[in-house]
Amino acid sequence: MNSSTTAHRAAHAAGHPQEVRLIVRHGSATDVGQVRTDNEDSLLAGSPVFLVADGMGGHRLGGAASAHAVRAFEDLVGRAFVTSREFNRRLTRAARSVAALGSGERAPGSTLTGLLLSRQGALPCLRVVNIGDSRTYHLSAQSFSQITHDHSEVQELIDSGHLDRARTLSSLSRNVITRALGAGGGDQVVADQYLLPATVGDRFIICSDGLSGHVTESLIETVARSVPDPGDAAQELVALALATGGRDNVTVIVVDVVEAFPPWENTQVDDTTLPRATSADSTVPTPASRRSCP
């Protein structure tokens, strides 16, 4: 088996003069898999930025595309928080960098998903972003859910009622992406953005479709809920994907919220009084059932 696995563990604190604090721990792992010879996934895991990019399979320079995608955000590492404007500037940089790799029908491209530490006024938040079909999941004491919405043909079939979600792992349209960095789409792209209140104890799983495309969500939740250390959890999830046959590259980042101040539960805010999202902050509204900040 031609494979490599890396894991990283760290604790990061994001401070602010107004005492807004957000501390997270993370771990990550990646593997080329048991079929492919090159790993076209890339990751960036350094507070306040945690991103996974997946070079589009079958396209030229997929690995270079994903590397360019995450490299555009490297200068944010070490900052306290990331604003929507700062994210959008780097996204434009990423889109132009990937688009410059080639044009035409078979131009290289990349997905991008993950989270950035952010603020809503004087409250700590997590900005979840997404382009393509890599995914970010949210695990709390009460629930496990996919935050991001896939930009893919199979998701469009699900949304239109023509495909049952249980059949998505075997769908022939599973790998057809409808939005990406590069891939002949030019040097401009829109990312979905969701702002979530930072809650102590919450865990986020960021992954390429080497995990989500081959492992059921119930199994992902089982590992995420049963393995306390984020680095160990990332490695276990990668191992789970390899156990299915390892037909794709697989990359996972696990991020745990260990401190968030001031806590949202001590703030007089609820769904009815939160200000609505603006286009600068969120391109896709968060479901009404989830408490969110714009």
Distance CA 73, CA 166 (A): 35
* % of the chain at pLDDT higher than 70: 74
pLDDT digits (tens, 9 = 90+) for 72-127: 999 999 999 999 999 999 999 999 999 999 877 778 889 999 999 999 989 999 99
Checking if the pLDDT of 257 tops 80, the result is yes
pLDDT classification of 3: cutoffs 50, 70, 90: low
Domains of the chain: 21-261 (3.60.40.10)
Q: Mean pLDDT score of the chain, rounded to an integer?
A: 82
Q: Per the structure block, which two tokens stand in for 246?
A: 């390892």
pLDDT classification of 165: cutoffs 50, 70, 90: low
Check residue 103 and give its pLDDT: 78
